[in-house]
Amino acid sequence: MNDLEKQDDQILESDIVNIDVPDESETETPNFLAGVLRRWHIALLTFFVICLIGLPAIWLLIKPVYVVTGSIRIAPILEDILTSARDRGDISDYQSFMNTQVEMITSTQVVDRVADNLKDSNLSFFRVNSNGVISKIKQKLEGTQINREPAWILKQALFNGRIKVAAPRGKELIEISMKRSESAESIRIVNSFINAFMTVGVSYSTQEEDRNLGILRDQRKVINQEIEDLRQSIYMMAKEYGTEKLDSRQNLMMRRLESLNAELIQIEKGKNNLEAQIKLLERDSDDPIPPDEAMKMKMEYINGDNSVAKFEKEIADLEQTVIIAEKTLTPQHPDYILQTELLELYKKNLEHMKTEVGLEFDKILEEEKEKSNVAKLEKTRTSLKHLEEYELRLKEMITREDGDAIEIGRLGLEIQNKQEDLAMKKAWLDTILERIQDLELQQKRPARISVWRNADIVNVVDKRVKLTFGVILGGLACGAWLAFLRDRADKKLRLPEDAAKRIGIRVIGTTTSMYAVKSSLLPEQIIDDYQTIRANLSLINGHEIPHVLVVTSPSMREGKTTFSVNLATSLAEAGKKVLLIDGDLRKPDVGKLLNLPKDTKGIQDVLSGIPFEHAVQAITTSGLDVLAADFYDHSDGYELLAKPQTAERIRNISNKYDHVIIDTPPVLYFPDAMIWSKMANAAVLTSFAGQTTLPELKEANERMLKANAKVLGCIVSSVEAENSYYHHSAAYYAQNARARRARKKALLSFEKRKAKAK
């Protein structure tokens, strides 16, 4: 390992990964496809269940539906009796007539006639309630008896849309359609509707036209009388002023009111000035204004100054600009420096301006004091009294003028409304006269209603194929969505990027899972992983690995002890003098992992007072020194570490080595790791891909930071080879013979340690 590091220092520098912590403003975008692929079995099972239930139900329960349609033609073009010309009537009247005929087809009179014609036909349509089982249950709960009469069933079918009667726009037809799986019965029912309407509708249409004609003639007389009344009313209103248009008179009065109101405003301003002068004059020169009141008046005068207010608004806008610049620019940016200096200059100018305005107020106050005398006060009071009397007369005049203007406006508005009503009445009368003439001619024309087409099948709707594709696509979508939701609910750490993006903790490096590469390539991959970790640690800590480094994890079985041993061994084989301390006094594993004798003295003994040399163990194969923990020592680890002399002893021991690696208990279980971190230069958190959860890793990091520990980042263990921070490539080491010899020597050293460990 030592020779390998000496030979490949230049190469390792090129393989350092980006270890910056991502910006907190970045948001993570869920990878939908990756989540579905990780939980593919959930998606597949959901798809099969939905298809297994849905597809048989579709093909067994759903039948093709036949659309049967019959049409009745309503002729819009009729021959004129007098001129023999073919003329199209009013489109709006025609559409209204079409809608009326649709309502007639669905009326009780027609439905009852259809029911009478079909009640003895023994149709299956009348044997099943159109509302089905739900309607039966509802009626039973409400205590009503189920009505199975044909007329009631037909009305329910019309209401539910099973039988549709419509007059499409742009056509001259009223279409009666029915959707059912029994096409023969549908044809018979639709034809019955056509025949019943032809029997009832044609005669009703003639009666309706006569009735409409009588109503229109009566309405014509009423509207003629209303028009005459409106004309007389308008004449009486306008008689007083000799004209119906009062806008010019009202405008003249409004301008007069505006002039009077403007004069009233000037008088009120004059009153305010005189009242202010009287208050100042009433103060005796020997009774100066109290300091607090004078200061208040001065501040109000300063704040009321337009220049000061405008300058303060400019400063507020500039402060907002500086706040935005603080978030987007660095403190050394020229724009940020310029805006900051400009803000300070504005603030100084504002203070200078306020000072000048304050001096102006003091000057005005002094001048008013000097001019104050009894004669001036009396003169001012007299002027105020005259203004008040004039103001009273002016207000009375404004009130009177305002009343007259309102009355003129009200009268003009009333005349205008009556004129509009008169115009509407005239237009409505013209429409009624045209309609009367049209109906009188229509009575002499032949009937415009005829059967255009008897009932027939026009379409077959088979939804089973579309529903089949819908079930398949829905099954795929539901399966994928459930798989994605299940994957999102999993809070376990999977990739190194999860820790960096979702927690914001720096990832120092990764170790590759033993199942991710071939067994023959595993030793080489592990060596490469730890070389990358060592290089990243030195970069993070100012181009050198921390002297005393604490290794901990959020929870148990997350690879902290294995990482501590391998990192210490890697540093020792690189030629460094390294000490590995088993700081987990509650469950020590370093001694077992390195096959140290069971009766070895431990860290508890050193902290209790025995010489360090009697407890330290040397690993001859790697040159590593180990200070293990006594597994049989059940003393309280926290109390032992919390002693004042513990930190001093660890400091004395660490001075003998280049690097000290301390393996500690999980930070979420015991406080030992936080105590050890106070004795160390830095700390590293280890995590295990597929086992460590992101909330636990985040909480562990926060606890260490709260304890003022310098957390360099985390190590993600047991990751897939493609997700490792070191991408293995055999060709990388084939650059020259020296690199290959160094690699071979490192591998032989690793195999020897592995054989000895066994």
Looking at the predicted structure, is the pLDDT value of residue 723 above 80? no
- Domains of the chain: which residue ranges? 32-62+463-489, 248-419, 503-757
Residue 731: DSSP 8-state? G
Q: Does 691 score more than 50 pLDDT?
A: yes
Q: Residue 446's pLDDT is what?
A: 59
Instruction: State the residue for tokens 């106070």.
Output: 678
More confident site: 723 or 560: 560
Pick from 379-383, 468-472, 661-665: least confident: 379-383
Across residues 351-371, what is the average pLDDT? 74
Q: What is the pLDDT of residues 255-288, one digit of tens each?
A: 777 777 777 777 777 777 777 777 776 665 445 5
Residue 400 scores a pLDDT above 60: yes
What are the DSSP calls for 497-531, one per residue? Answer: HHIIIII---EEEEEE-TTTS-TTTHHHHHHHHHH
- Please compute the mean of the pLDDT values over residues 546-569 and round it to a whole number: 92
- Token pair listed for 33: 């496809």
pLDDT at 580: 95
Instruction: State mean pLDDT over 484-505.
Output: 76
How many CB atoms lie under 10 A from the CB of residue 87?
Answer: 10
Residue range 83-105: average pLDDT? Answer: 69
Q: What is the mean pLDDT of residues 239-246?
A: 64
Average the pLDDT over each of 147-151, 188-192, 221-225, 428-432 and give the range with the smallest value.
Answer: 147-151
Name the pLDDT band for 247 (thresholds 50, 70, 90): low
Residue 707 has pLDDT above 80, yes or no: yes
Q: Quick one: tokens of 99?
A: 């809608």
Of 697 and 318, more confident: 697
Question: What pLDDT shows up at residue 561?
Answer: 92
Quick check: 406 pLDDT over 60?
yes
Token code pair at residue 473: 């696509």
Task: Convert the pLDDT of each residue in 130-146 to its tens digit.
Answer: 444 444 444 444 444 44
Confidence of residue 750 (pLDDT cuts 50, 70, 90): low
Span 6-59, pLDDT tens digits: 323 322 332 333 444 444 444 445 577 877 787 788 888 988 888 888 888 888
Q: Report d(CA 198, CA 174) in Å as an integer.
A: 12
Find the helix or strand (DSSP H, E) in which 477 lies: helix 464-489
In this prediction, residue 453 carries a pLDDT of 85
- Confidence band, pLDDT 50/70/90 cuts, at residue 714: very high
Inform me whether the pLDDT recorded for 586 exceeds 80. Answer: yes
Tokens of 397: 């005049």
Cβ distance 715 to 692 under 8 Å?
A: no
Mean per-residue pLDDT for 375-403? 79
Determine the average pLDDT of the residues in 335-360.
79
Is 433 or 663 the better-scoring residue by pLDDT? 663
Per-chain mean pLDDT for the chain: 77
**pLDDT greater at residue 320 or residue 610:** 610
Q: Are 653 and 647 in contact (CB under 8 A)?
A: no
Mean pLDDT of the region 689-693: 83
For residue 268, CA distances in Å to 178, 306, 391, 395 come to 81, 22, 8, 11
Q: Which element (helix H / strand E) includes 271?
A: helix 247-282
pLDDT of residue 245: 66
Two structure tokens written together for 157: 């079918």
> How many helices and strands in the chain, by DSSP H and E?
25, 14
pLDDT value at residue 355: 83
Please determine, for residue 549, whether its predicted confidence score (pLDDT) is greater than 90.
Answer: yes
Q: Indicate the pLDDT class of residue 329, thresholds 50, 70 and 90.
A: confident
Instruction: Provide the pLDDT for residue 226.
Output: 85
| % of the chain exceeding 90 in pLDDT | 11
What was the pLDDT predicted at 130?
Answer: 42
What pLDDT shows up at residue 737? Answer: 41
Report d(CA 178, CA 68) in Å as an integer.
5
pLDDT in tens, 629-640: 877 766 677 788
What is the predicted pLDDT for the residue at 10? 27
Report which of residues 594 and 92 the model is more confident about: 594
pLDDT at 627 over 90: yes
pLDDT tens across 637-687, in order?
778 888 888 989 999 999 999 999 999 999 998 888 999 999 999 999 999
pLDDT of residue 215: 84
435 or 201, higher pLDDT = 435
Task: Give the range among 362-366, 370-374, 547-551, 580-584 with minimum mean pLDDT.
Answer: 370-374
Residue 409 above 90 pLDDT?
Answer: no
Domain spanning 503-757, CATH class: alpha beta
